[in-house]
Amino acid sequence: MQRDQVRQIVTSQVYQSLADNNVQIKALPPSELQALINALADGVFAALVALEDESQPAVAARSATAAPVANATESDYVPEQMLWRGRPYLSIGTRYEVTNQRLRIIKGILGNVIEEIELIRVRDTRVKQHLGERMLDVGDITVISEDATMPETVLHNVSNPLEVRELIRKATIEERQRRGVLYREDVG
């Protein structure tokens, strides 16, 4: 996304938000208010670029040691490898990680709360994006699992949500194959 597009989106959102809340800024001349909004948009653009730069190398190529092992048992050791790491759009205190064995949600800045879902427990995923999110290529990924403590988990504001969802799906299939787990669905 180009800087001018970000400026246009931020400008329209700021003015819309001011109008929705009946806020009138009379202390600043219009040109200075626009300069302030442009500075805000430039900050948002810089944050987007930094997040994009951070998430690009995060999708890792798998080495031969992490490849699915045919007819593997629980005792076969396959090292856990990071497949993807990301954060919700414009967030600081939450991180998401997908490895070849599990999905992690890490919350906190000074302290951490870590929630995990084993990939063999993932049943389904879905992606939800509204218009603004599609323009920024972010969205919410809902992971539906057999995990008793977290049957539905939402990864909010993920960059490239369709790509990440597909990565989770493929990693889930590979982990089931590696462990020899068959999925059976009861039909009603």
The separation between the first and the last C-alpha atoms of the chain, rounded to the nearest angstrom, is 47
Inform me whether the pLDDT recorded for 81 exceeds 60: yes
Residue 13 has pLDDT above 70, yes or no: yes
Measured CA to CA, the distance from residue 35 to residue 26 in angstroms comes to 15
Three-class DSSP labels, 119-152: HHHEEEEEEECCHHHHHHCEEEEEEEECCCCCCE
**Per-residue model confidence as pLDDT tens digits over 55-80:** 544 444 433 334 444 454 555 677 88
Task: Supply the pLDDT for residue 31.
Answer: 85
Model confidence pLDDT, tens digit, residues 115-155: 999 999 999 999 999 998 999 999 999 999 998 888 999 99
pLDDT of 169 > 90? The answer is yes
* pLDDT given for residue 126 in this prediction: 96
Answer CATH for 69-179 from 1.10.287.1120, 2.40.30.10, 2.30.29.30, 2.60.120.10? 2.30.29.30
**More confident: 130 or 110:** 130
More confident residue, 105 or 33: 105
pTM for this structure?
Answer: 0.59
Radius of gyration of the chain (CA): 21
Identify the pLDDT of residue 52: 61
Task: List, as one string, the DSSP characters of 45-63.
Answer: HHHHHHHHHHHGGGSPPPP
Going from N- to C-terminal start, the domains of the chain cover: 3-56, 69-179
The reported pLDDT for the residue numbered 116 is: 95
> What was the pLDDT predicted at 58?
43
Answer for the pair 52, 87: CB distance below 8 angstroms, yes or no.
Answer: no
Q: What is the pLDDT of residue 18?
A: 82
Q: What is the mean pLDDT of the chain?
A: 82
